[in-house]
Homo-oligomer: A and B are copies of this chain.
Amino acid sequence: MKTILLAVLLAAAPAFAQQFTSPEVHTNGQVTFRLWAPNAKEVQLHCEGVKNTAMQKDDHGVWSATTDSLAPDLYVYSFNVDGLHVLDPRNPLLKYNLLNTENQVHVPGPKSLLWELNDVPHGVLHHHFYHSAVAGDDRDFVVYTPPGYDPSARKRYPVLYLLHGYSDDATAWSTVGCANIILDNLIARGQAKPMIIVMPLGYGTMDVVRGGWARVRSPDLWQQNVDKFSEALLTEVLPQVEKSYRVLKNRSSRAIAGLSMGGTESLVTGLNHLDRFAWVGAFSSGGLNTNYVAQFPQLEKQANAKLRLLWIACGKDDGLLKNNLQFCDWLTSKDIRYTWVESPGWHTFLVWRRYLGEFAPLLFQDK
């Protein structure tokens, strides 16, 4: 009987499929990538932190390339086969994305790295689904509750609203950004206050992503996207969270931060609603309306009394660095206090995981 099962299971698996691993991470941090593509003319490896590399074919039609040693981290990669974007069929670790799903490879490192899964208590991720009247669609948000969270106990927690970037979805911060692992580690070390993290779908309208990157070109659609997102967050997600979870419901216990598009949404939502949020973070933010006075009509020097933290960060090699510096200049001109962080790196989760690791410990600390 079992042989029949095996015949069924194995029917789709060619013999070569057993014979190699990809990616193979060597102990020195070098990584070998492999792809069986006997009929391809040219196969390229596209991997973060590695120059695009022409892969070499062996006699069995398996293409391979080995990188130099890579520092411990999670790197995004894919193959280009004669111009075609191809995922690594041997690697189940994906970087899911609405417009461009790729693979990831984990070069493991010491336990001190915040995204390494350690033997510490783990929080739980809760996936909620609801119909949004604001956006006119069915959508979701993900909630991280910290280790030891007990819905029937008296203890209440502060909340960080954490927003993804353009083309990501509500799962990006947990599956790619390792937000739950990073907070588990920070909390276990006593470096961050136990907090709830809410990761909503970050679009005011799905039209901005449904049609692909071209839709970003429309300033009206983009602004509608940002504004409707704010409205959905404040009038739909936040009330559901505050009804379903044991959270503190004052502005000093609410933070909002995000990356790229989500950084812009955090600035627009947070700085225009200081009655709701005392902590604001913008990681490599992009797409902010440069008519700052129109975007932040009420932002004056008095805001400093309400803003516990305005944290703005961008990678030195990020094309958005100039935009972020320009916004900081405007904040300076308005006498608004902020923290500016310029770090190594470009527009990638390699940077954003580190930003979350730096930002979360600053939150909800007593004066």
Contact = CB atoms under 8 A, between A and B. Distances in A.
Interface of A: 1-2, 4-10, 12-13, 17-18, 36-41, 81-87, 89, 92, 94, 96-101, 117, 119, 122, 124-131, 138, 151-152, 166, 169, 180, 211-214, 216-217, 219, 222, 286-290, 319-320, 322-323, 326, 347
A213 B287 contact: no
23 contacts: A1-B290, A1-B322, A2-B288, A4-B323, A5-B323, A8-B286, A8-B320, A8-B347, A13-B214, A18-B211, A36-B84, A39-B82, A81-B81, A85-B89, A86-B86, A92-B101, A124-B126, A124-B127, A124-B128, A125-B126, A125-B127, A126-B126, A129-B180
A200 to B, nearest CB: 14
B81 A7 contact: no
Contacts of A320: 4-5, 8
Nearest to A15: B214
Copies in the complex: 2
B94 A89 contact: no
B92 A5 contact: no
Contacts of A152: 151-152
B39 A41 contact: yes
A92 to B, nearest CB: 4
A2 B287 contact: yes
A13 B94 contact: no
B40 A84 contact: yes
B319 A4 contact: yes
Contacts of A87: 87, 101
A94 B96 contact: yes
A213 B8 contact: no
Contact of A216 (B6, B217, B326): B6
B130 A127 contact: no
A117 B100 contact: no
A216 B7 CA distance: 10
Nearest to A2: B287
Contact of A38 (B40, B83, B92): B83
A98 B101 CA distance: 15
A222 B41 CA distance: 40
Nearest to A7: B319
A98 B90 CA distance: 9
A124 B87 CA distance: 31
B326 A1 contact: yes
Contacts of A222: 2
A41 B82 CA distance: 11
